[in-house]
Chain A
Amino acid sequence: MPELLVGTKKGLFVLSGEGAEAYRITTRAFAGDVVEYAIRDRRTGRYFASVTSGFYGPRLMFADDPSGEWQQASGIAFAEGDDVSLERIWKIKPGEAEGQLWAGTDPAALWESRDGGETWSRNESLWKERIAGDWQPGGGGLALHSICPWPGDPMRLAVGVSAAGVWITDDGGESWRTGFTGIVPEYMPEDAREDTNQLCIHNMHRAPARPERLFMQFHGGVYRSDDQGETWTDIHDGLPSPFGFPLVTDPADPDSAFLIPMTGAEDRVVPAGNLGVFGTRDGGETWSRQGDGLPTDAYVTILRQALDRDGEGDGMSLFFGATSGEVFGSSDAGRSWFTVAPRLAPVTSVRVA
């Protein structure tokens, strides 16, 4: 039975259901706190939740049973000598080595665990790039929110930072290089675009069946890279807007990507209230809207991590949640939709357990 982990402004909701029927809430954890993101590491069955208390700050929690006792992970914290404080844990991502997980935070830093997520340490070489490059925040902070391991190879990794671009390593994080070529930051003056590192990545995912290919939602652009993130080609023609946040890929089909455009930076709702997931099956040459069963006149906002998939191909399930508290699902790769949960708290993330 599918299990959904829905992070909200008012805690974590674990939903369970089957078919095109509303799911039931099986667990609510961290009531009152913001759950930025939650996943289940399918290798171990362990659950992780990024929790931010309005009073007591951010922390990473883990549990083997989400309805049981959660423990606090250690190590995701800046040193007293650093000039920053931890604001938010954006992302937790299982790595390719045994026991390895990655995490991304605001301020932008990459953290690695080698013991299944209990203890963490900062990737110092990328942190030095942050200092040397004087990375600047986007509207949501200085966030390392996208982490793309290379299937089967723990040495290769790409990360996306808002607003400091794409960073690539081939040596397990010992050294990093940029993947900026082809990205056009139209929010910068033309004569400043070529040299800037203020590249506001909104989301980035790898195509697992062709790992050198990545898709990216940018702050005004949708891009594809066929050379592991080194260079990028804009593929947003055919979309109602080049602006948005959520993005997923289909593990069976490297030509596929699905996203939910927003109107623009000044109006972060679905364009004309026409809610739908836009998908491509040809690498971004064409896009089609898939919204059968979704509400109309829906001026809703879907946040960066509030879209996920399960399975692959034409039978792939898609789930997304809105800040209006609704969660929707599709069990046919977006062709038809049903309401998973009608009235949760504002949704920050959706992940299939």
Chain B
Amino acid sequence: MPVVTLRAPLKDLAGGNRDLTIDGPTVGDVLRTLEATWPKTAGWILDEHGAVRRHVNVFRNGERVDAATALGGDDHLQVLPSITGGT
């Protein structure tokens, strides 16, 4: 199953878990399962329309992807803040 790696503050919202194994056919499905399992993460990565937030980057095996990207069982997702989001 795909592994999702989170950093602070998302890691803290997910019960302190840095790496989570979550099954799902697409990036969006995996992230929605993450939200359902750890409700405090809801709205932090995906917006109201199910898209990855503009200033958050999701990488699959080092390549930036969007919510519709299909996943395989050995994929590794990393969720990172974008360099564009600071104020």
Contact = CB atoms under 8 A, between A and B. Distances in A.
Interface residues of B, number: 18
Contacts of B50: 80
A80 B49 contact: yes
Contact of A34 (B43, B81, B87): B87
B86 A54 contact: yes
**Most chain-B CB neighbours within 10 Å: which of A9, A72, A86?**
A72
Contacts of B62: none
Contacts of A32: 86
Interface string A52-88: 0111110100000000000010000111101011100
B82 interface: yes
B48 A56 contact: no
Interface in B7-62: 9-10, 40, 43-45, 47-50, 53, 55-56
A338 B85 CA distance: 36
Given A55-B53, A55-B55, A55-B56, A82 B48 contact: yes
A54 B55 contact: yes
Contact of B85 (A55, A72, A80, A82): A55
Given A9-B87, A34-B87, A55 B48 contact: no
Nearest to B87: A54
B83 to A, nearest CB: 10
Interface in A27-42: 32, 34
Given A54-B55, A56-B44, A56-B45, 8 more contacts: A32-B86, A53-B85, A55-B55, A55-B81, A55-B85, A56-B81, A59-B43, A80-B50
Interface of B: 9-10, 40, 43-45, 47-50, 53, 55-56, 81-82, 85-87
12 contacts: A53-B85, A54-B55, A54-B85, A55-B53, A55-B85, A56-B10, A56-B44, A56-B53, A56-B81, A57-B53, A84-B48, A85-B47
Interface of A: 9, 32, 34, 53-57, 59, 72, 77-80, 82, 84-86
